[in-house]
Amino acid sequence: MDLLATALPALGDAISLILHPEQLMFLVLGVLLGLSVGVFPGLGGIAGLSLVLPFIYGMEPVSGLALMVGLVAVIPTSDTFASVLMGIPGSSASQATVLDGFPLAKKGEAARALSAAFASSLFGGLLGASFLTFFILIARPIVLAFGLPEMLMITILGLSMVAILAGRLPLKGVAAACMGLLVGTIGEADAGGSLRMSSYSIPYLTDGLKLVVVGMGIFAIPEIIALLRQDRAISRDAT
């Protein structure tokens, strides 16, 4: 109860602060910048923040935070265009969109795929933010109680889900997950910084293989080559 008594007034102050016209202006500006940056595959939230970071220095902390939040929040929505229309995941979060959205675009139903993606992004964002705001106080003790054994349990659960999603070939899914684990261990560990596997005397591999770069190589390059070879519209129903 003491935690609720402290958090609720702070939540009210935060809402009144973010609804100030100046903060709303920077929030809208961040949304526009995020939509522009997210359209290009490979330019995620980090690249967008790197572009606006020099302009944030000297700004009010709340205004700068509103600009950054608006920019990062809409990037998973704007990269839907490349995922659905070209089959190129703009970020790691949009790789699943390629599997369903791009086949619909080939059938001439790109508008339907984009509408479904935007609607799910809207309602998912609103519901997720609402639940996170009100349940973070309840979940805080649980999150702080998580240790290495619990994190290992969740990791194993996530890897076991790969076998379920693989359908009729669970061994194939498990083999792909193990291959992903081997590739993910290249470079320094995120926690301690020690080299888990050899970087093969390549300085770039010291930082590991970035998921966005690997996804671009798996999805984007073959799809671009296939589109160039077809020499026609993406939609097969187009005349």
Q: What would the pLDDT profile of 68-84 be if each residue is shown by its tens digit?
A: 888 888 887 887 887 78
Q: Which of 5-9, 21-25, 231-235 has the highest mean pLDDT?
A: 21-25
pLDDT-based confidence at residue 236 (cuts at 50, 70, 90): low
Confidence of residue 232 (pLDDT cuts 50, 70, 90): low
What local confidence, expressed as pLDDT, does residue 16 receive?
78
Write the single-letter amino acid at 84.
V
In the predicted structure, residue 35 carries a pLDDT above the cut 60: yes
Rounded mean pLDDT, 4-32: 78
Residues 162-197 have pLDDT tens digits of: 777 777 777 887 888 888 888 877 877 766 666 766
Determine the residue type at 27.
Answer: L
Question: Terminus-to-terminus CA distance in the chain, angstroms?
Answer: 65
pLDDT at 217 over 80: no
Distance CA 132, CA 142 (A): 14
Residue 211 CB burial class (10 angstroms; 0-12, 13-18, ≥19): middle
- 90: tokens are 């703009």
The pTM of this model reads 0.60
Q: What confidence score (pLDDT) does residue 125 get?
A: 81
Whether the per-residue pLDDT at 65 is higher than 80: the answer is: yes
Output 65 or 221, whichever has higher pLDDT.
65
What pLDDT, on the 0 to 100 scale, is given for residue 191? 67
pLDDT tops 60 at residue 239: no
What pLDDT sits at residue 62?
A: 84
Q: How much is the pLDDT for 37?
A: 80
Share of the chain above pLDDT 90, in %: 0
Q: What is the rounded average pLDDT of the residues 18-44?
A: 81
Between residues 33 and 91, which one has the greater pLDDT? Answer: 33
HEC string of the chain? CHHHHHHHHHHHHHHHHHCCHHHHHHHHHHHHHHHHHHCCCCCCHHHHHHHHHHHHCCCCHHHHHHHHHHHHHHHHHHCHHHHHHCCCCCCHHHHHHHHHHHHHHHCCCHHHHHHHHHHHHHHHHHHHHHHHHHHHHHHHHHHHHCCHHHHHHHHHHHHHHHHHHCCCCHHHHHHHHHHHHHHHCEEECCCCCCEEECCCCCHHHHHCCCHHHHHHHHHHHHHHHHHHHHCCCCCCCCC
Residue 154 pLDDT class (50, 70, 90 cuts): confident
